[in-house]
């Protein structure tokens, strides 16, 4: 299946959980906020949330700013 992650298309195995994708990307789950199809996911949901074909995922974090 295909998803759009931070604007880039990625091919994932079916039934991929968000937490697995984060680990594949080298991201510590506690350091990012995930918005999937416009809905912000609670941190507790990362471990069980199943990504689906066509999902639009945004991974966001704090950066330096004024």
Partner 1 sequence: MLTIAGREFRSRLFGGTGKFASAEVMRDALAASGTEMVTVALRRVDLADPADDIMRVLDRERYLLLPNTSGARDAGEAIRLAHLARAAGGTPWLKLEVTPDPRTLLPDPVETLKATEELVKDGFIVLPYMNADPILALRLQDVGAAAVMPLGSPIGTNQGIVTAFQVRIIIEQARVPVVVDAGLGAPSHAALAMEMGADAVLVNTAIAVSGDPVRMARAFAMAVAAGRDAYEAGLGEARDNASASSPETGLDFLR
* Residues at the interface with partner 1 (CB under 8 A): 5-8, 25-28, 31-33, 35, 40, 42, 58-66
Tell the smallest beta-carbon distance from residue 2 to partner 1 (Å).
Answer: 16
Specify whether the CB–CB gap between 2 and 10 falls below 8 A. yes
Tell the smallest beta-carbon distance from residue 26 to partner 1 (Å).
Answer: 4
Q: Which is nearer to partner 1, 7 or 14 (CB)?
A: 7
8-11 vs 2-5, strand pairing mode? antiparallel
Q: Report d(CA 64, CA 1) in Å as an integer.
A: 34
Specify whether the CB–CB gap between 65 and 13 falls below 8 A. no
Tell the smallest beta-carbon distance from residue 25 to partner 1 (Å).
Answer: 6
């Amino acid at each position: 299946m295909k998803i759009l992650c931070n604007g880039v298309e990625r091919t994932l195995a079916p039934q991929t959980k968000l937490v697995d994708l984060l680990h594949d990307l080298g991201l510590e789950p506690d350091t990012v906020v995930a918005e999937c199809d416009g809905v912000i996911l609670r941190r507790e949901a990362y471990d069980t949330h199943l990504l689906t074909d066509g999902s639009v995922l945004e991974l966001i974090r704090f950066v330096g700013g004024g």
